[in-house]
Amino acid sequence: MAGPFVPNPPVKDIVLHDRSLAVVAAAKSVTVPYGPEIRVIPTQTGEVIFRKTAAFAVSDNSDNSDNSDNSDLAS
């Protein structure tokens, strides 16, 4: 996990004593490598209170049929 509230180098598990801070840190972070989910789980209950999965994918624009934005580039 890497992000503005996570120590360097990226780590797998972080223990925070404030539930709100844990959710903010998880929401602002990404996984390294991209793909696995980030979860916030209080140790007292063991239930997942926040879950984040990769919400992006690499886009391949080679089959883009709408070239109206790229008409200036083809000269």
pLDDT (tens digit per residue) in 15-57? 888 999 989 988 888 877 777 888 999 989 999 999 988 765 5
pTM assigned to the model: 0.57
- DSSP secondary structure string for all residues of the chain: -BSTTSPSSP-S----S-HHHHHHHHHT-B-SSS-S-EEE--TTT---SEEE--------GGG----STTTTT--
Q: In this structure, is residue 71 part of a structural domain?
A: no
Q: In this structure, is residue 64 part of a structural domain?
A: no
Q: In this structure, is residue 41 part of a structural domain?
A: yes
Q: In this structure, is residue 74 part of a structural domain?
A: no
In the prediction, which pLDDT does 45 show? 92
pLDDT (tens digit per residue) in 1-11? 566 666 666 66
Structural domain that includes position 30: 1-57
The number of distinct structural domains making up the chain is: 1
- 66/29: higher pLDDT: 29
In the prediction, which pLDDT does 49 show? 92
